[in-house]
Amino acid sequence: MGRSPSDLAVFVGKRLLQLVPVLIGITVLTFVFTHLSTVNPCNQWFPHSHGAVLANCQHMFGQPLYVQYGEYLSSLAHGNLGVSEAGIPVNPAIVNGVPATLELVLAALFLMIVIGIPLGVIAAQSAGRWADHLVRVFYLSGWATPTYLGAVIAAIYLAPYLGLPAHGEYTNTPPPFRQWTHMSVVDALLAGNLPYTADALEHLFLPAAVLAFINMGIATRMTRSSMLEVIPLDYVKSARMKGLTEFWVMYKHALRNALITTTTVLGVTAGGLLAGTVVVEEVFDWPGIGQYAYYAIGGGGATPNFDGAVAVVAVFAVGVVVANLIADILYGILDPRVDWR
Amino acid sequence: MRVLRANPLTLVGFVLVAVIVLVAVVITVAPHLLTPYGSDAPTTAYGQAPSWAHPFGTDSGGLDIYSEVLYALPFDLVIAFAIAGIALVVGGALGLVAGFWDRPGTASGVASVVILRITDVFLSFPSLILALAIAVSLGRGVWQLIVAVLLTWWPYYVRLVRGETLAIKHLPYVTAARAAGVTEGRIVLRHVLRNVLEPVIVYFSLDIGTVLVTLSTIGYVGLGVNYPITPEWGSMIATYATAGITTDPWTVFAPGAAIFVTVLAFSLLGDGLRDVLDPRSRRVLAGAGTGGPTSTSPAERQEEAAEVSGEAGELPAVPLGEGSPAP
Amino acid sequence: MTDAAISVEGLSIDYVVGAGRFHAVTDVSLEVPAGHVVGIVGETGCGKSTLAQAIPRLLPEPPATIGSGRIVFQGIDLVKVPLWKMPALRGTGISMIFQEPLNSLNPAYRVYDQLAEAVHIRRQREAGRSRVDPRPPPPFDYSRRPAPEVGEALSRPIVPAGATGALARKMRERHPELRDEVLDYLRLVRINDPETILELYPHELSGGMRQRVMIAMALSEKPALLIADEPTSALDVTIQAQVLTLMKELIEEVRTSILFISHDLGVIAETADELGVMYAGRLIEFGPVAELFDAPRHPYTKALLRSSPTRYKSDGPLSSIPGAVPNLSRPPPGCRFHPRCPIARPVCRAEPPPALLPADGAGPGHRSACHFAAEVASLP
């Protein structure tokens, strides 16, 4: 039985190694997108361009496939994610956008955990009764809300009603301090600027809440079903028999075990949250890669920016893989029965 | 039917789905029963707010939004069923192969490993984003839309069917059938398929909703079908979102509400079905049927469950847990 | 009546499932005298586990409903206590040992944390500063209850040992005094190396070890009543014997009141003072163990004794009881045992026997529920 810190390092290392084939697969798939989706995409991608850009593109597609893939990988390794149709490099936009999106997604995840998991516990405790039905209608409503509709209702109707901003990261941009991390709240905190921190939190709340609401179902449902599995077990009864109140029986003893299975859906959650950012960031004008993707895809009548779109897809894929990795490691830490070696 | 009685919400979902399908049929066969206006036929009212004559208002071009939402229904349903259905058949077949013939060293074993690796890669992309990227490279259109979503949809069925197949193929009765000389093909058809079907159908009914929401987002980004030539909710939203979300909000909310209600209906049905068919929930429910004294032996529980179910005819869902939890 | 640790009066429990009603326990009256060990035996599904869990109100209600009857504990009718007040009555009041050693300890916490929690709750209550129940305390005084003595194990010197695990360390830092007492209780259940056991997770222990820890946990509450729900049934036979020996020794040492549920007559014979026999949800015979074994006054008890290879009585061939346990959704009319009873007569089919009556010619306290209790002695 190995559960010392050094065993944990081995455990994490093994999981990291398992990622390699998936990451290679992702690059192959994105390569297929950029290079093979049409026979000679240059004219389609750059219908209005000419000269160097077009010639460069045409030359690249003259090479054999493996050479193209090699070139693609080496350019990826150099941090070159391509150039937009208008000739603007994709790279800086992604680098600046990822932290903002990460902040939004983490905030949404936080809301999902602090609201969605207790809702699942309540639903399990009252399984088959009205509170259970209410919770179910709540999370299925999130599930059934088209992302755009949810975002737009929050931005146009809810925001004025609650007195919350629904546009960008700060009321006054740019803020009077250095953007160290490109995460609005974190930067304001680092600068020690409390008014801006509060302002950033207010701006963050609505988009995060919309994202959380739409994805709530996964957390709540999983918590409910694993709680239902745990509640009839003897150790829950023996916790009750110690004289603990129902609250502690549920949250210290039952939920602690139910969470072990709930963490496994974290990866699925990441996919939903990231996909949601495309629309939510656009509606709330959040400067992340979701909004970048929206315009790169040609949303709002913009000219499609193919390299940009593929870059975002790749970043999101890596995000999902990393989320799954974290879920896997969390599972190993939460469940004392998992041997780390 | 016992499944529907188990949870009132499942019944609500079932009734809603039935009504939606009925409306879709009527609007296709005899549209005049539901609306006096033809598809894509402008009225003389321009940009009107909802009224008795136009329940969901009209757009600036004079189209009656109520009729437009109804005319889009059959198309949306068909496209959702087509995508989920094809994904089910293709992904399910691959999952069956990968789950059942996975002995290492054989040709099929190698094939199943390849299938799984490719599935893993696809699964690491958020399907909506991948579909959007594919849609960009394919361009606009009905077929392009279907292909784009389909390409990202099949891996989920591979994973589901493979998991179920793996669970079933080591069950004693499958081993017994093999020992009795039943051919592999017959085992797959008679035992594995029949048992895989249940969870797959449950997942499918939930999936219809997910496809519809995904379609709406693709439409919103502007990669959907060409509205108003082809009426479709997502594209309707996209068209009106840029044209008049602030001036004529009903043009956006009507198709949005239509998506919401349709997806909610399928989700209520699917979620309820999943609760009852999910082996874990089922066990919990069966335990509750005997009052859930789980410290009794498994044999005792089974016996009591059999007695109770033998008497009542079926095992309805029974609430578990404490009567009044402390705050 | 007054010196009973618990007295159950006319208790009926149904499981309501849809339109069906499953009569798990019907009109059971029973009393555990203070300091006594009362055993309950019966076949699988006879309602003994339901009874055991109904006393501390552990049954999920619904589907379980207590139809009628009283459960009197320290002058309080537990049936009438609202569920949210029950935590105050569990623990130091009523404690329980469960059947499945695999599931009765929380797999997510170390042995120390689970035991310390139990001791901690008890200490808070003893000190009268219980944060356990934030609501107004139930209308009775714990201090009036005579605290059961827990051997001399408590006064032994403690050998401190280094520990690992952040959680355990934190808990220990906050309550260093708990550790000593936890160790005492582990020694009490004859665990040789308690310092090591403390830092382990339940899955790292063997089944017998887990059950010892469970027993230590239940005893550390110093309960007024201990309910043991088949504590040895899920263990291997050799381990079963060890745990049983331990329980017997502890019963001598601790002298708390125990309700001991088992389907194993041998186990009961070795531990209990009095014995109740349940059949199809009813208590059909009750009496001192020795007398009940020597001269049963109910044909079912007689048949049960003849069908089990007990350590207590092993003469004569084994036999099985013809027929099957009745369906408790629709129990047979009259005496519930009549379809399988060798001496059944028309009256048995027509009317249920009166609840436990003193049997003719039987010793004091020996009662049975049979129309023809006197004839049982003459049965083969």
- pLDDT per position as a tens digit, B118-175: 888 888 888 888 888 787 777 777 888 888 888 888 888 888 888 888 888 777 878 8
Residue among A298, A320, A311 nearest A72 (CA): A311
**Residues B56 and B254 sit within 8 Å (Cβ to Cβ):** yes
Q: What are the distances in angstroms from CA A41 to CA A29, A58, A113? A: 16, 9, 44
CB atoms within 10 A of CB B323: 17
All residue ranges of chain C with pLDDT < 70 are 1-2, 18, 127-175, 309-319, 357, 359-362, 373-374, 377-380
The reply to whether C307 falls in a domain is: no
What pLDDT, on the 0 to 100 scale, is given for residue B285? 41
The reply to whether C58 falls in a domain is: yes
Residue among A253, A268, A66, B175 nearest C107 (CA): A253
Q: Which of C18, C50, C234 sits opposite B316 (nearest CB)?
A: C18
Residues A156 and A240 in one domain: yes
**Residues B241 and A283 sit within 8 Å (Cβ to Cβ):** no
> Could you report the per-residue pLDDT of C118-145, keeping only the tens digit for each?
887 777 777 665 444 433 333 333 333 3
Is the confidence at residue A3, as pLDDT, over 80?
Answer: no
**CB within 8 Å: C63 and B324:** no
The reply to whether C356 falls in a domain is: no
Highest mean pLDDT, choosing among A31-45, B71-85, C195-209: B71-85
Mutate to test the interface with B, among A24, A143, A235 (most CBs of B within 10 A): A143
Tell me the CATH number for domain B7-41+73-291.
1.10.3720.10
For residue C315, the distance in angstroms to the closest alpha carbon of chain A comes to 38
**CB within 8 Å: A152 and B245:** yes
Per-residue pLDDT band for A63 (boundaries 50, 70, 90) equals confident
Q: Residue A41 belongs to what domain range?
A: 5-77
Is the confidence at residue A235, as pLDDT, over 60?
Answer: yes
Side-chain-side CA neighbours of A102 within 13 Å: the count stands at 16
The reply to whether A232 falls in a domain is: yes
DSSP code, position C2 = T
**CB within 8 Å: A299 and B221:** yes
Mean of pLDDT over chain A = 82
The reply to whether A193 falls in a domain is: no
Secondary structure class of A7 (helix, strand, coil): helix
Subunits with 3+ Cβ pairs within 8 Å of B are: A, C
What pLDDT, on the 0 to 100 scale, is given for residue B302? 35
- Give B50 or B270, the one with higher predicted confidence: B270
Residues A124 and A29 in one domain: no
The reply to whether C148 falls in a domain is: yes
Beta bridge partners of C31: C7
Angle subtended at Cα B81 by Cα B75 and Cα B86, rounded to the nearest 5 degrees: 125
Helix-strand-coil split of chain C, %, nearest 5: 35, 20, 45
Q: What are the distances in angstroms from CA C240 to CA A210, C1, C39, C267, C273? A: 57, 34, 17, 9, 20
Of A276-280, B273-277, B280-284, C86-90, least confident by mean pLDDT is B280-284
Q: Dig out the tokens for B100 from the structure.
A: 């059942």
Residues A167 and A48 in one domain: no
Residues A327 and A253 in one domain: yes
Q: Which residues are CB-contacts of B194 (< 8 A; sequence separation ≥ 6)?
A: none
**Residues C120 and C175 sit within 8 Å (Cβ to Cβ):** yes
**Domains: count for chain C:** 1
Q: Residue C93 belongs to what domain range?
A: 1-272
For residue B4, the distance in angstroms to the closest alpha carbon of chain C comes to 14
Residue among A336, A227, A251, A233 nearest C168 (CA): A336
Contacting residues of C for A246, CB less than 8 Å apart:
83-84, 87
Residues A42 and A161 in one domain: no
- Give A78 or C227, the one with higher predicted confidence: C227
- Express as a percent the part of chain C with pLDDT over 90: 0
The reply to whether A82 falls in a domain is: no
ipTM, 2 decimals?
Answer: 0.80
In the block, residue with structure tokens 């490109």: A182
The reply to whether A201 falls in a domain is: no
**Mean pLDDT (whole number) for B239-263:** 80
Q: Dig out the tokens for A303 from the structure.
A: 């000219």
Mutate to test the interface with B, among C21, C22, C43, C325 (most CBs of B within 10 A): C22
Domain residue extents for chain B: 7-41+73-291
> Could you report the per-residue pLDDT of B187-242, keeping only the tens digit for each?
887 778 877 888 888 888 888 888 888 888 888 887 777 777 777 888 888 777 77
Q: Which of C60, C98, C121 sits opposite A242 (nearest CB)?
A: C121
Backbone angles phi, psi at C37, to 5 degrees: -110, 120
Residue count of chain B, please give it.
327
Mutate to test the interface with B, among A148, A153, A274, A312 (most CBs of B within 10 A): A148
The reply to whether A266 falls in a domain is: yes
Q: Which of B122, B267, B281 sits opposite A228 (nearest CB)?
A: B281
CA distance C366 to C380: 21
Q: Which of B220, B222, B325 sits opposite A125 (nearest CB)?
A: B325
Nearest residue on chain C to B302, alpha-carbon basis? C45
In the block, residue with structure tokens 């099985």: C320
The reply to whether A190 falls in a domain is: no
Q: Dig out the tokens for B20 from the structure.
A: 């939606």
The reply to whether C28 falls in a domain is: yes
Nearest residue on chain C to A332, alpha-carbon basis? C108
Q: Dig out the tokens for C284 from the structure.
A: 């059909």
Residues A112 and A70 in one domain: no
- Secondary structure of B243-307 in HEC code, one letter for each residue: HHCCCCCHHHHHHHHHHHHHHHHHHHHHHHHHHHHCHHHHHHHHHHHCCCCCCCCHHHHHHHHHH
CA distance B186 to B297: 36
Q: At what angle do helices B142-169 and B65-100 cross, to 10 degrees?
A: 40
Residues A104 and A253 in one domain: yes
The reply to whether C348 falls in a domain is: no
**CB within 8 Å: B278 and A124:** no
Q: Which of B217, B252, B295 sits opposite A279 (nearest CB)?
A: B217
Q: Dig out the tokens for A193 from the structure.
A: 């600027």
Interface size, chain A vs chain B, as Cβ–Cβ contacts under 8 Å: 199
Nearest residue on chain C to B299, alpha-carbon basis? C44
**CB within 8 Å: B221 and A304:** no
Residues A109 and A15 in one domain: no
**Domains: count for chain A:** 2
Is the confidence at residue A111, as pLDDT, over 90?
Answer: yes
Q: Dig out the tokens for A265 from the structure.
A: 């859906």
Residue among C72, C93, C59, C55 nearest A243 (CA): C93
Per-residue pLDDT band for A101 (boundaries 50, 70, 90) equals very high
Per-residue pLDDT band for A135 (boundaries 50, 70, 90) equals very high
The reply to whether C177 falls in a domain is: yes
Is the confidence at residue A336, as pLDDT, over 50?
Answer: yes
Contacting residues of B for A281, CB less than 8 Å apart:
none
What pLDDT, on the 0 to 100 scale, is given for residue A207? 93
**CB within 8 Å: C88 and A243:** yes
What pLDDT, on the 0 to 100 scale, is given for residue A118? 92
DSSP per-residue codes, A316-335: HHHHHHHHHHHHHHHHHHH-
Nearest residue on chain B to A293, alpha-carbon basis? B129
DSSP per-residue codes, A98-125: HHHHHHHHHHHHHHIIIIIHHHHHHHHH
Residues A47 and A70 in one domain: yes
* C112 vs A: CB within 8 A: no
What pLDDT, on the 0 to 100 scale, is given for residue A95? 85
**CB within 8 Å: B121 and A28:** yes
Residues A129 and A237 in one domain: yes
Residues A309 and A222 in one domain: yes
Q: Dig out the tokens for B53 from the structure.
A: 């004559």
Q: Chain centroid to CA A42: how far?
A: 32
- Express as a percent the part of chain A with pLDDT over 90: 11
Per-residue pLDDT band for A104 (boundaries 50, 70, 90) equals very high
CA distance A307 to A57: 12
What pLDDT, on the 0 to 100 scale, is given for residue A36? 58
Residue among B265, B153, B149 nearest B206 (CA): B265
Residues A96 and A145 in one domain: yes
CA distance C215 to C218: 5
Of B47-51, B104-108, C198-202, C330-334, least confident by mean pLDDT is B47-51
Mutate to test the interface with B, among A85, A297, A321, A322 (most CBs of B within 10 A): A297
CA distance B115 to B91: 10
Q: Which residues are CB-contacts of C238 (< 8 A; sequence separation ≥ 6)?
A: none
**Residues B291 and C59 sit within 8 Å (Cβ to Cβ):** yes
